[in-house]
Amino acid sequence: MKFKYSLYSFALIASMACSTSKTLLDNSSAVVDSSELIAQESEVENPLIEEEDMTPAVEKDSLAFLKINPVDVRWDLNDSIQPEFKSNLDKLVNAWYAENAIKTEAYEGPETKYIKEQLADSVYIKRLQSIPSMFDLSYNKIVRNYIELYTQRRRKQVELMMGMSEYYFPIFEEILDKEGLPQELKYLPIIESALNPQALSRAGASGLWQFMYSTGRMYKLEVNSFVDERRDPIKASYAAAKFLKDLYKMYGNWPLVIAAYNCGPGNVNKAIRRSGGKKNYWDIYYRLPKETRGYVPAFIAALYSFNFHEEHGLYPRPNQFPEVCDTLMIKEQLHFDQIAQFTPVSKQKLRELNPQYRADIIPAFNKPYSLKVPFESAMAFIDNQDSITSYKKEYYFNLKDKLVNPRDRYQKFAHVAPNGKAKVYYKVKSGDAVGLIASWFHVRPSDLRYWNNIHKNMIRVGQNLAVYVPKSKVSFYKSFNSMSRTQKQATLGKNYVASVEKPSTVETSRSEDGGDYVYYTVRRHDNFWTIAKKFPGISNFDIMKMNNISDAGSLKVGQKLKIRQKS
């Protein structure tokens, strides 16, 4: 609803407010003159923020805080609108979210078609004077450019934002009122995000209020893989209110607060220093970053356009947000698909009402999270809560590998089978090696290691190795389990010849039971594995057993090992 007041009416209100506040004064007989109230400077302190420093105290519901100043007109200031501002406005408002989720009903404009007209500066000034505001609604050519951008060149975008504001503004207004901040601050998200809660800037700012990651965390907004509370309309609004309060304590000047909200206090402080300590926004205008200069003029233009939309033939376009919503506290993890299965609300509608959930998952592992749903769907959720939480729970939340015993890791290893191949198993025999087995089955050693989770080529005698082979040769490769080493080598066109040691290191003798034995003299760099490879059919464990050795690291150079040669 739009309110218009004449200067006379506001002077009368201010006078009444001053007379009301007299009862709050000390024993002094000071009287506040209404003309002095009207002539206050532009930097008005917020009575709710600086209450302890104010004399006299003002009741919260008093109208004494309202300013009625002549509009600050500066004809010498002029600047063009940054192209980035116009392109961002188009991109944000015309994004998929706005086009498909909001503008879904047929729109019928006013019967009389708007005719573009050039208004005199005095008309804009008079209208700005009539807006009850704690802000300095200045007017100059820069402000006029932004007003014309909203009311003439970007009419469709403004009407879409007006439609979305019917849902978001009541949220902002309630929180601003609770925090004791001016209601006009509800127009900041229009400049920041065009009321798109999923807006993401090139610098990484996110949400309606465009919080950077670090600033969001500073004001207790949770950001992780599942949740981004910078997109939560309610929590982000509370965080923005706290941020704005902190900025007001720094500057005590709302235009500077708005500028600092956009570019940071550091840039505003630099502009103040470079301007010789001046603290009027328009005095430091050309010292601010280019992308911030138009921020305050755009804010004034948005405030003007929403208050005088009818005079410019602008009307809210219908939106698909529910008129009444309810908030549920969820205490266990849920997927939007589970909710949509048992309630009238669709998954897309859940996304629109709860933009803070990044993966359609409410991650209520250790603490409850809020879920906003249409009022008529809240009862359906409560009635079917057990069915909702149990529906395809194993499909949406596989908890098998959440906590894994490290000893079970080998057993739980799973590989991806190659397409068009059949799996056969080969039982490891004494003397086999990864590279040798891979050559027999015509596969790469790396694949054999991957299929069987083999680390550093370590395999055991008797271990079954999975090997993927062509489907037409399954029976051929299965027969490898019954082949001798010579036969398997023959499939490669090779003759297997056992390595023979030099006579100086190998000695042969006959034991009492008639068996043949070979003695091997240990040389430098030998170990049981390398020695076993020199004798077909003998494993390192066989050598250690024949010589009653339990410590594999006890070998010494010159030591003689007894080896039984198998036929």
DSSP 510-559: E-TTS-EEEEEE--TT--HHHHHTTSTT--HHHHHHHTT---TT---TT-
Distance CA 95, CA 92 (A): 5
DSSP 408-458: GTTTT---PPPTTEEEEEEE--TT--HHHHHHHTT--HHHHHHHHT-STT-
**Measured on CA atoms in the order 284, 288, 290, 295, is the torsion positive or negative?**
negative
Is 222 among the catalytic positions? no
Cis amide bond preceding 56, omega within 30? yes
- Spot the catalytic one: 148, 159, 192, 229: 192
Residue 85, token pair as written in the block: 């501002």
Please enumerate in sequence order all residues whose Cβ is within 8 A of that of 520, keeping only pairs 6 or more positions apart, or say none: 501, 505, 506, 531, 534, 535, 560, 561, 563
Coarse DSSP helix, strand, coil percentages of the chain, rounded to the nearest 5 percent:
45, 10, 45
Cα(120)–Cα(79) distance, rounded to whole angstroms?
A: 19
Q: What 3-state class would DSSP assign to 298?
A: helix
Closest CA to 428 of 438, 415, 442, 443: 438
d(CA 296, CA 441): 74
Residues annotated as catalytic are 192
